[in-house]
Structure 1
Amino acid sequence: MSISTTPVFPKLRDDQIPTGSRPFIEKVKKGFGFVPNLFAVFSNSPVLLEGYLGLDATYSKGTLSPAERQLVLLTASVVNECGYCTAAHSTVAKGMLKVPAAVVAAVRSQQPLADAKLNALVNLTRELVLARGRVATATIESFLNAGYRNDQIGEVIIGVALKTMSNYTHHLSPVEIDSAFKAEA
């Protein structure tokens, strides 16, 4: 199998963004204070951009804490080998959510976390991605025994779906890591 080296979607400038993507890009700009390069790529497809932002909004309504949600996103990005998203989620986790650097480093190096509950979350996420949803009973039991609930497995699945969208988009159309995330590249 040959992998294409030609980006499927170019990074669009403001004046190139399709009309259907413009309101969503404005929301992104408001939220981040700038348009991250990957969102400029997403904007090629208004459906992809709206779908990603809609799923992200739903994900944020879950019962996992913001730090737990970021660890799911970071773990999936690491497993999917997406340097862009790994840098972005490391930045958000450490900078905005004050997740300890040792926790982020352990996730990035795929090492066990000292916190048993977070370790169970990261292990479930990693196995969901690696095994394409075919998770061992022991992994699920570990997750539940750590204090999580069955319904929260669904939240982890949504996080994995989000990262599948963004990680695959970056694989198809790699962009430079934004300066805001470069320290974590």
Structure 2
Amino acid sequence: MTYFDTHTINSAPDGARPLLNQASGMFGFVPNLLGTMAEAPALLEGYMTLSGIFDKTELNDTERQIVLMTNNRLNNCGYCMAAHTVISRAAGVPADVIEALRSNAPLADSRLEALRSFAEVINETRGWPSDADVEGFLAAGYSRQSVLEVILGTALKVMSNYTNHVAATELDKAFAGAAWSAAVAEPA
């Protein structure tokens, strides 16, 4: 396996240092994912910028985490599942929603389940949902804008999940209590 550095603010390329400083201010530390992305400052900037843009969508905190965690699970990214479990808890996402996302169980709320299912379809079809998939999502109370915002969240997770796959990013201590593996996500 090719080794990738997990940069600190001091070891990062010049173009990544301001971004790692920003991340440190947001999280209180530099997450290993971002330290790894710092090797390619454009990737780090793209990821952080897209993340900020995704936060501006019409999807609320819970809905955004549903899109992100669904993609994390489907892409088998243990790092991001753990990180987003912690982030979801801090954002006030209900515990039953977080647990269902981690264990690949349907969500009790039918509207949120429609979102989870649609995010799954977008990932698994590589952006080729059927007309029935889109119409079902719209019938659950989501908009055409939301359809495209699910694609935005999926693109964001490609950046982080694939980085973690290639670099075998080490899980931060801050996320270790929420460690996850695909083995725990097998439906009952």
In which range does the TM-score fall when normalised by the shorter chain?
Answer: over 0.9
Matched with 2:118 is 124
Percent of matched pairs sharing the same residue: 43
The amino acid across from 2:30 in the alignment is V
CA distance in 1, matches of 2:27, 2:8: 17
Greater alpha carbon shift after TM alignment, 70-79 vs 134-143: 134-143
The amino acid across from 1:73 in the alignment is L
Question: Root-mean-square deviation (CA), in Å?
Answer: 1.1
Deviation at 1:103, TM superposition (A): 1.2
Alignment partner of 1:60 is 2:32: no
Secondary structure class of the residue paired with 1:180: helix
Alignment partner of 1:71 is 2:73: no
CA distance in 1, matches of 2:24, 2:173: 15
Matched with 2:10 is 15
Matched with 1:47 is 42
Secondary structure class of the residue paired with 2:65: helix
Offset from partner CA, 1:84-108 (integer Å, 9 cap, x none): 00011111112x1222222112112
Does the 8 Å CA contact 1:77/1:86 hold for their aligned counterparts? yes
Does the 8 Å CA contact 1:11/1:41 hold for their aligned counterparts? yes
Over 3 Å off, 4+ runs = none
CA distance in 2, matches of 1:92, 1:142: 29
Alignment partner of 1:176 is 2:176: no
Alignment partner of 1:143 is 2:137: yes
Deviation at 1:177, TM superposition (A): 1.0
Greater alpha carbon shift after TM alignment, 98-107 vs 18-27: 98-107
TM-score (norm 2): 0.91
Does the 8 Å CA contact 1:71/1:93 hold for their aligned counterparts? no
CA distance in 2, matches of 1:130, 1:10: 31
